[in-house]
């Protein structure tokens, strides 16, 4: 139960945003942490911060018509939720997946506010996307969809206004089509208006790797804080997209042995350690399915259709696919198998019940808004490079990313300690992320 003030605001959120369970879940988790600071910050209540924080500054919903390869007209729905600009321009990815609806975009946008605040960089929170499914679509179809999507979205964007990037279903190909159409519509080469761009046209080194690298670095920091490490340990990873691939790479560099990857059809287990080059060839280059990895790897790698990747015993888990992919039962299995650390590469992949299991078992648990902040942080570094018309080296950019992840880790730990909840990264991330945004909102008055 929440205390009565928080519960009252939460009830309003439920009434106003009916039928959006993921959004409710994200808000509730933050409110549970805020309970710890209610008494210390009467000014937050006085200035209506909670209710203002839950209400997006602006929500844009639009029709996205396009013509498929058969000449048939298709209609999708586009979204951009410009959630909070207290700390900087709205910043956050675009997701193209059939499950996208307003509630999903709001949950992601809400999380993004606190994540972006934790990076320490000047970025506000936003999120967008569409229920368009790029799977099985030709490049021409994806291009026409992206052009139609941008024809509406461009009027809301700007280097100092709103800066989208990728998320599920939106990678380098889609960012290219989106940027091309933005450039054509505006007749301006405003590189800083989108991040995740190609390296030849304003992109930043390390942006592609940043989210996965960051999630593994965050896990490493949690392990180090308890005198442990990745060295020689089995690592379970879910997903096989942008985040998963580079979480695997960094986990290997840190001495771990990633043994799994998955997609929505099932998972593969490779007891000899994932062959990253093969996985990248199948997933990044050929856009294939995960069973092909087991088909081509031989050597004991196996594909399990459906099922749960969390059944595979591992010391470190990096859920990197999608929301609510790791259930209470999965968490119990991981704990039974001796998991030491869980670092969320995806946004909200663990259900609230699963998080409770990890907390009670004493597993080091890094929530997404801290653990996967490396992606958006490196997007902000891309914006810095665009603004100064510069391009940094891989080494320099990776050093910046590592410093940012270490800072987020220590901020979470110190805040948790201050609140009398040592080692609780969830309350640390929520309270530290929230306070900066709330204080800026108070400074600006009621707007």
Single out the residue of 174, 107, 177 nearest to residue 348, CA to CA: 107
Do strands 162-165 and 125-130 pair parallel, antiparallel, or not at all (unpaired)? unpaired
Going by the DSSP 8-state scheme, the letter that residue 282 receives in this structure is: I
> Phi/psi class of residue 255: alpha, beta or left (left: φ > 0; alpha: ψ in -120 to 50)?
left
343 within 8 A of 216, measured Cβ to Cβ = yes
Which of 5-13, 35-43, 164-172, 424-432 is the region at the interface with ligand NDP (rule: CB under 6 A)?
164-172
Q: Which option in ligand 2IT, ligand NDP, none does residue 312 bind, with CB closer than 5 to 8 A by kind? A: none
Do strands 90-96 and 58-67 pair parallel, antiparallel, or not at all (unpaired)? unpaired
Please, which of residues 372-411 interact with ligand 2IT by CB under 6 A? Answer: 375-376, 379
Minimum CB–partner distance for residue 318 and ligand NDP (Å): 10
Which residue's C-beta sits nearest to ligand 2IT? Answer: 93
Minimum CB–partner distance for residue 288 and ligand NDP (Å): 10
User: Of these residues, 91, 127, 183, 197, which one is catalytic?
Assistant: 127
The residue within the footprint of ligand NDP, chosen from 109, 125, 345, 428 (CB under 6 A), is: 345
Single out the residue of 158, 238, 249 nearest to residue 208, CA to CA: 249
Going by the DSSP 8-state scheme, the letter that residue 35 receives in this structure is: G
Q: Which option in ligand NDP, ligand 2IT, none does residue 346 bind, with CB closer than 5 to 8 A by kind? A: ligand NDP
Rounded to whole angstroms, how far apart are CA atoms 435 and 34? 10
Alpha helices for 56-171 (secondary structure H): 102-118, 139-153
The residue within the footprint of ligand NDP, chosen from 128, 239, 258, 428 (CB under 6 A), is: 239
130 within 8 A of 77, measured Cβ to Cβ = yes
User: Does position 144 bind ligand 2IT by CB under 6 A?
Assistant: no
Do strands 58-67 and 73-84 pair parallel, antiparallel, or not at all (unpaired)? antiparallel
Going by the DSSP 8-state scheme, the letter that residue 161 receives in this structure is: T
First-residue to last-residue Cα distance in the chain: 31
Nearer to ligand 2IT, 196 or 428 (CB): 196
Question: What binding mask, one character per residue, do residues 188-227 give for ligand 2IT by CB under 6 A, x or -?
Answer: -------x--------------------------------
Q: Which option in ligand NDP, ligand 2IT, none does residue 92 bind, with CB closer than 5 to 8 A by kind? A: ligand 2IT
SS3 call for 51: helix
Question: What binding mask, one character per residue, do residues 320-339 give for ligand NDP by CB under 6 A, x or -?
Answer: xxx-----------------
* Interface contacts to ligand NDP, rule CB under 6 A: 166-169, 171, 211, 239-244, 263-265, 320-322, 345-347, 372, 375
**Catalytic residue annotation:** 127
* Interface contacts to ligand 2IT, rule CB under 6 A: 91-93, 112, 115, 165, 167, 195, 347, 375-376, 379
């Amino acid at each position: 139960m929440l205390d009565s003030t928080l519960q009252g605001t939460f009830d309003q959120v439920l009434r106003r945003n009916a039928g959006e369970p993921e959004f409710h879940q994200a808000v509730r988790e933050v409110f549970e942490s805020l309970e710890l600071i209610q008494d210390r910050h009467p000014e937050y209540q006085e200035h209506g911060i909670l209710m203002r924080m839950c209400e997006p500054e602006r929500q844009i919903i639009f029709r996205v018509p396009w013509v498929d390869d058969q000449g048939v007209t298709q209609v999708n729905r586009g979204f951009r939720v410009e959630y909070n600009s207290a700390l900087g321009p709205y910043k956050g990815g675009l997701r193209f997946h059939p499950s996208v609806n307003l509630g999903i975009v709001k949950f992601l946008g809400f999380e993004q506010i606190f994540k972006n605040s934790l990076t320490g960089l000047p970025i506000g929170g936003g999120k967008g996307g569409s229920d368009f499914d790029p799977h099985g679509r030709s490049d021409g179809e994806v291009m026409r969809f992206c052009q139609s999507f941008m024809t509406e979205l461009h009027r809301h964007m700007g280097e100092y206004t709103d800066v989208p990037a990728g998320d599920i279903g939106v990678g380098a190909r889609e960012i290219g089509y989106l940027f091309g159409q933005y450039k054509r519509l505006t007749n301006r080469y405003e590189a800083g208006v989108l991040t995740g761009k190609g390296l030849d046209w304003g992109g930043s080194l390390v942006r592609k790797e940043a989210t996965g690298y960051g999630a593994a670095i965050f896990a490493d920091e949690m392990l180090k804080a308890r005198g442990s490490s990745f060295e020689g340990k089995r690592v379970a990873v879910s997903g096989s997209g942008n985040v998963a691939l580079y979480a695997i790479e960094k986990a290997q560099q840190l001495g771990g042995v990633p043994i799994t990857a998955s997609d929505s059809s099932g998972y593969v287990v490779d007891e000899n350690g994932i062959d990253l080059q093969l996985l990248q060839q199948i997933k990044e280059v050929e856009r294939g399915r995960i069973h092909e990895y087991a088909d081509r790897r031989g050597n004991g790698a196996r594909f399990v259709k459906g099922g749960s990747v969390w059944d595979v015993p591992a010391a470190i888990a990096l859920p990197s696919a999608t929301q609510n992919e790791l259930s209470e039962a999965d968490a119990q299995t991981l704990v039974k198998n001796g998991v030491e650390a869980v670092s969320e590469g995806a946004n909200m992949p663990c259900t609230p019940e699963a998080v409770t299991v990890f907390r009670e078992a004493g597993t080091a648990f890094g929530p997404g808004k801290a653990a996967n902040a490396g992606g958006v942080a490196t997007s902000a570094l891309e914006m810095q490079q665009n603004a100064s018309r510069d391009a940094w080296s891989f080494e320099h950019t990776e050093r910046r990313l590592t410093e940012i992840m270490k800072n987020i880790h220590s901020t979470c730990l110190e805040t948790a300690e201050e609140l009398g909840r040592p080692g609780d990264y969830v309350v640390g991330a929520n309270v530290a992320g929230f306070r900066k945004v709330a204080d800026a909102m108070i400074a600006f008055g009621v707007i």
